[in-house]
Amino acid sequence: MFNQVNIVPRWIIFSLDLVFCLFSLSFAYFVRFNFNVNLINLAELSRNLIIFALISCAVFLAIRTYSGIIRYTSAQDSFRILFSIIASNSLFLITNFFQLALGQDLVISNVVLVINGLCSFLLLITYRVLVKYFFIYIKNLKLNRKPVIIYGAGETGLAVKRTLDHDRNLNMNVVAFLDDNVRKSGKAIDGVKIYPSSELKFLTAGGKVSDILLTADIKADKKNEVVDYCLEHGIKVLTLPPALSWINGHINTQQIHNIDIEELLEREPIQISNDSICEQIRGKRVLVTGAAGSIGSEIVRQLAKFSPGMIILNDQAETPLHELQLELQDENLGDIAKAFIGDVRDKNRMEAMFSNFKPNYVYHAAAYKHVPMMEHNPAEAIRTNVIGTKVIADLSVKYAVDKFVMISTDKAVNPTNVMGASKRIAEIYVQSLFNSFKQSGIVYSNGLSHLNSKTTFKKTQFITTRFGNVLGSNGSVIPRFKEQIERGGPITVTHPDITRYFMTIPEACRLVLEAGSMGEGGEIFIFDMGKSVKIVELAKKMIRLSGLIPNQDIAIEYSGLRPGEKLYEELLNDQENTLPTHHHKIMVAKTREYSFDDVHKNINELIALSCESQDWPVVAKMKEIVPEFRSNNSIYGDLDISRDINLVEVFEQFTPGKNI
């Protein structure tokens, strides 16, 4: 029934304001003359009441003090009322000033005006506040009202509390604030007490609280601790989007939502050297291959902040590339963004791109990355991940690109699948290419001019970056789990012990830009991926965040490891170690050096096999180039057995009679 209460007509508010103002003036006369009616000039009082009524009507109409909804009275309404009272009383003061100048009696005592001003403001504000809290009290009498705690007793927390109080469609009652700032403990906001965050268990004991709303910027480990506790005790966790996404700077209750798993996997914000990146990128032409993908598009967005002269968007996916270009146009970046559709494997098409735009920097993100798909299509994996990288790397040297930054993967480390091995081969190629002209000044790249040691040329710096899974990328496990939960389950996990590293796309791309700016060529930069996450625990937490119970409302099933899939990922192989950099999140891998002649020969043979779509010979050659590549849960595991047998036979030839 409360929700059906109509808003009071404006004329009633106008009339009430006028009545209270006239009462205030009368009361001021009584106070001025110590409540002695005989001392009051009733003729003067009557005259001034009429004058004050006319002045107040004009001021109220001009300032529109009656237009606000009383039950939602705010500080802005208070300022409007204060201004109207000052304006009304100032007209009397101005009149008194002229009366004094003319040597005549005052129209009204200045003491009366001061008392009237104070009383008027007090009365107009008081009756509004009383009405406001009356409505809140009536609302709180509703049955089944959910008790809610707000975590964060700052401005955002206060704004959320008032939003919840005023929204008639919500059934929430804020019973407490929690805050990490101990100086706020014991104080109150809008009548609601603030508790230290350590009191969470006390406040929620016995099912006293149904929801907790996170409004403060909480450290990642603290946020996970709070969420884990709440999920274990059946408390719903809500949160808000960043303040920048609020509608006109105000919180909309529709923006209050269940906390996402991505927010729990996020870590502390990464600080990068914006000045050094800006110094390198400003005014330069930057090529991003795979620009329509999740990583490539985010690299483009972040590069755009550093005022490049041009960003060349290369991809073969027409629709997402078009959407990215429209997005940049909406950000008034259409003039610097040039879309170029083309396949990185097509050397002639890529040559046309380099010849036309002559990029200064290249970020090579184009790649096939889905492990099971590439396990069934090895030749195609080589064509994109190896040939595509080789084409772009060779052209980068030919057109004197300053830096070539390759986006690699943790799956390239001790690879157990075709995709990871293909990326490792691409790493080997760009490293050996850089080492070749670093050492001798000669470029041995197929299709490039051969330079002798006396030739001077600009050396392209080849830099590789490795990181693990990124949240929200195409093919990420999290969107798949969300879809399975929405369908009512089951959630499929490949293995109960499988773990993965996770990083947000913006975080990964910031580190890519930072590594690219600090690299001098030949390095493989690896990122601090934090702690690995057990996928089954991730699935359980996502189910609980949806308000459901794992293996009761949503089943979890194990489907078995997919072809080529590892139980856990690595960032270094057994023959690598790391060196620190000036950025604590970025390390340099100390890797083996390869002879470019051998690498070039082997890769050309591999390319020839891939062009003939000979999958088994392709994988065999990959294992020859990357000896640590041992297939897992794959048909190509037979090649490892054959290779081991051959190694045993060779060993026996040199150690006759030895039992192996």
- Catalytic residue positions? 411
How many Cβ atoms sit within 10 Å of the Cβ of residue 32?
A: 19
Q: Is the dihedral of CA 110, 114, 115, 119 positive or negative?
A: positive
Q: Is the dihedral of CA 354, 357, 361, 363 positive or negative?
A: negative
Instruction: Give the span between the Cα atoms of 261 and 186, in whole angstroms.
Output: 32
Residues with Cβ within 8 Å of 36's Cβ and at least 6 positions away in sequence, in order, are none
Q: Pick from 573, 589, 565, 430: which is nearest to 494 by CA?
A: 565
| Contact call for residues 467 and 503 (beta carbons, < 8 A) | yes
- Which DSSP helix (H) or strand (E) runs through 221? helix 220-232
3-state secondary structure 166-220: HCCCCCEEEEEEEECCHHHCCCEECCEEEEEHHHHHHHHHHHCCCEEEECCCCCH
Tell me whether the omega of the peptide bond preceding residue 378 falls within 30 degrees of 0, making it cis: no
CA distances 76 to 16, 54, 66, 72, 141, Å, are 19, 25, 13, 11, 28
Task: Write down the H helix ranges in 254-293.
Answer: 261-265, 274-281
Task: Write down the H helix ranges in 313-454.
Answer: 318-330, 347-357, 371-375, 378-381, 389-398, 418-439
3-state secondary structure of 499: strand
| Contact call for residues 521 and 461 (beta carbons, < 8 A) | yes
Instruction: Give the span between the Cα atoms of 62 and 65, in whole angstroms.
Output: 8
| Contact call for residues 577 and 589 (beta carbons, < 8 A) | yes
- What letter represents residue 507's amino acid? E
Instruction: Give the span between the Cα atoms of 533 and 517, in whole angstroms.
Output: 30
- Provide the 8-state DSSP code for 523: -
